[in-house]
Amino acid sequence: MTQRNTETALPYALKRVGVLMNADPTDPLEAEGVLNPATAWGPDGELYLFPRMVATGNVSRIGRARVVIEDGVPVGVERQGVVLSPDEGFERGAHNAGVEDPRITFIPDLGVHVMTYVAYGPLGPRPALAVSTDTISWRRLGPLHFTYQSHLSTDLNFFPNKDLVFFPEIVPGPDGRASFAMLHRPMWDLDWLRPGEGAPAPAGVADGRPSIWIAYVDAEAARRDLSALTSLRHSAPVAAPEMPFEVAKIGAGPPPLRVPEGWLLIHHGVTGPVARGFELSHGAVYRAGGMLLDPDNPARVLARSQEPWLSPETREETVGTLGNVVFPTAVERIAGTVYVFYGMADSAIGVAALERTAD
């Protein structure tokens, strides 16, 4: 992991706006909550929310809802059904199923919306990809695959992986080639899946806590064939837990936002117990923070927030399926203001404004 420049300022903060979406108690597909949404602008100029909808038995689908905006502020949603269900074999197990926690990045260079999501299949949470040109119909490109890197002395495809999100623009790859970059969060614990297997972290990784990694796709290959987006190379760690509000684990949030200082990544940090396998981390606290990545080398952290930007405080954030959670997953600019959309206690969806605190 490259060292950060501690002299670089991070002049941003989040200001809570309110609750955008609650679960509909009359809809069985939302019986266990709506949470952790993606967002995308449709061809009609409307903003759409893509919530994770959880049915009884922890079966998740990805919905679509038009965001209601009043005076430039997102205030509610109009539901428009489901766009992705766990219909494929890799998204279902014998006793579980789900398509979870979507992140959507529009990549102008490719002319498509790229949705990363977690397929909750036979081997637990695995990363997958779908694309769309209209935000209505989504075409699965399938599970992601990480190219073997001998210096890591392991296969990243062995491990569960979450918090996957693409950068919206081409960035320099470590091999000097124009690339599309994706952040991800591998988890080394295999003991929950195969007792006795332990947590064999890659060679050179001294800190086994779940951390933010980056991987790259050759841009020219993706222009020729979008399926190249599922083949990731040059995977490397970016940031491990460092601040007091993230001592248990961290993970990427919305697509990185280009700001004057570089790439602004809003992330979550966790304190308290970390569950294993499919279990919820009851007793943990999820907070939101930020870090600045180098525009010329997005694997390099320039600065990070020493204190959380948003912590669970309201009833919607502290009481729910998993209490004490704010989990940022989407970011959009509306009428000159940047809004961050986040999961609240694994049960509802909130919105906060990103503010600049200093010049």
pLDDT tens across the length of the chain (359 residues)? 544 444 467 999 999 999 999 999 999 999 999 999 999 999 999 999 999 999 999 999 999 999 999 999 999 999 999 999 999 999 999 999 999 999 999 999 999 999 999 999 998 899 999 999 999 999 999 999 999 999 999 999 999 999 999 999 999 999 999 999 999 999 998 988 889 999 899 999 999 999 999 999 999 999 999 999 999 999 999 999 999 999 999 999 999 999 999 999 999 999 998 877 667 778 899 999 999 999 999 999 999 999 999 999 999 999 999 999 999 999 999 999 999 999 999 999 999 999 999 75
Superfamily per CATH, domain 12-356: Glycosyl hydrolase domain; family 43 (2.115.10.20)
Please report, for the chain, the start and end positions of each structural domain, with discontinuous segments joined by +.
12-356
- Read off the pTM: 0.96
8 Å CB contact between 305 and 319 = no
Q: What is the pLDDT of residue 193?
A: 83
Tokens of residue 300, six digits: 């390099």
Strand (E) positions, 159-218? 161-166, 171-172, 178-186, 212-218
8 Å CB contact between 344 and 51 = no
The secondary structure of residue 224, as a DSSP letter, is: H
8 Å CB contact between 289 and 305 = yes
Q: Please give the C-alpha separations between residue 195 and each of 145, 158, 200, 201, in angstroms, as whole numbers.
A: 25, 15, 13, 16
Q: What is the pLDDT of residue 330?
A: 98
* Geometric angle at alpha carbon 291, from 335 and 280, rounded to 5°: 95
Q: Please give the C-alpha separations between residue 180 and each of 124, 129, 235, 236, 290, in angstroms, as whole numbers.
A: 26, 14, 12, 14, 21
Q: What is the pLDDT of residue 32?
A: 96
* Geometric angle at alpha carbon 30, from 28 and 36, rounded to 5°: 160
Query: Which residues are bridge partners to 239 per DSSP?
Result: 212
- Neighbour-count burial of 90, counting CB atoms closer than 10 A to its CB (0-12 exposed, 13-18 middle, 19+ buried): middle
Q: What is the pLDDT of residue 280?
A: 75
Q: What is the pLDDT of residue 274?
A: 81
Q: Please give the C-alpha separations between residue 284 and each of 2, 126, 312, 347, in angstroms, as whole numbers.
A: 28, 22, 11, 16
Q: What is the pLDDT of residue 79?
A: 98
For the CA atoms of the chain, what is the radius of gyration?
Answer: 19
According to DSSP, the β-strands at 231-239 and 145-146 are parallel
Q: What is the pLDDT of residue 40?
A: 98
